[in-house]
Amino acid sequence: MEGTDKKCNDTRERLIQAAGEVFAQRGFKGATVREISRCANANIAAVNYHFGDKEELYYEVLKNSLSSVMKKYPPDLGVTPESTPEERLHAFIRSLLFRVLDESRPTWHARLMAREIAEPTAALDQLIENILGPLYGYLTVVVKQLISDEANDELVHNCIFSIMGQCLFYHNSRHVISKLYHKKFGPEVIERLSTHIMRFSIGAIRDLGILDTKSAKV
């Protein structure tokens, strides 16, 4: 029984890895169960057995990719109950940068997420509800603590998008940056970059918070 379970798990994992490569290259619509099964060295019926259909396999691949990197770099890495909002923001930015710039992961992870964002499927809604939504909620609390619990929602959301935009820029423009700045994103560079984005963001957040307070009194 144990040997059968291990073989089942091995097949399931091979299908996820093979599907990740195929989906990243061809997209959800262009990928076929036949090609995925062939790349995974598995019977074509194995997809239905383990996942039900191609759509569920696609969601599992996306979820597996995000969950694994979230486990490796959680947004509260190093945070304690005594940590300040500034420290919590730094931890969030640091973990996000490591997630998007981690070169030890298979390249299909980043390519697949970029394709999904550019060509969203129903799976993205599930990811937002189960993984990305809670992540956004965590950052919302931190930003509100930095501004004020009374800060208006638009200001809070704009600050969040600005923080995330800075981090994602380094992923999306990695090739251009390497040509302009001749810099590789190793661990030490990511550490320094996370500190810069944290300081830059906190300065802007505090300035915007002061302006928001003044405008509210007018």
Q: How would you label 143-166 residue by residue, b for 16+ Cβ within 10 Å and e otherwise?
A: bbebbeeebeeebbeebbebbbeb
Per-residue pLDDT at 13: 94
pLDDT at 217 over 60: no
Statement to judge: residues 120 and 71 lie in one domain: yes
Any domain includes 57: no
Token representation of residue 156: 């809070």
Q: Is 133 found in the same domain as 98?
A: yes
Is 72 found in the same domain as 45? no
- The alpha carbon of residue 193 and the mean position of all alpha carbons in its chain are separated, in whole angstroms, by 17
Same domain, 111 and 6: no
Q: What is the CATH number of the domain that holds 6?
A: 1.10.10.60
Q: Are residues 100 and 144 in the same domain?
A: yes
We report the CATH number of the domain holding residue 146 as 1.10.357.10
Residue 58 inside a domain? The answer is no
| Residue 143 belongs to some domain of the structure | yes
How many independent structural domains does the chain possess?
Answer: 2
pLDDT band at 216 (very low <50, low <70, confident <90, very high): low
Q: What is the pLDDT of residues 65-117, one digit of tens each?
A: 999 999 999 999 899 999 999 999 999 999 999 998 888 888 888 889 888 98
Same-domain pairing of 22 and 82: no
Q: Identify which has the larger pLDDT, 143 or 216.
A: 143
67 with 164, same domain: the answer is yes
Min mean pLDDT across 18-22, 143-147, 158-162, 172-176 is at 172-176
Q: How far is CA 127 from CA 5, 168, 190, in A?
A: 28, 18, 26
Q: Which of 109, 85, 84 is nearest to 19 (CA)?
A: 109
Does the residue 159 lie in any domain? Answer: yes
**How far apart (Å, rounded) are the C-alpha atoms in residues 81 and 75?**
14
* Tens-place pLDDT, residues 132-141: 999 999 999 9
Give the domain range for residue 23: 2-52
Q: What's the rounded Cα separation, in Å, for the pair 85 and 73? A: 19
- Scan for tokens 């099964």, then name that residue: 37
Please indicate, yes or no, whether the overall pTM of this predicted structure exceeds 0.95: no
Distance CA 189, CA 173 (A): 16
pLDDT band of 215, cuts 50, 70, 90: low
Residue 82 inside a domain? The answer is yes
Average pLDDT, the chain: 89
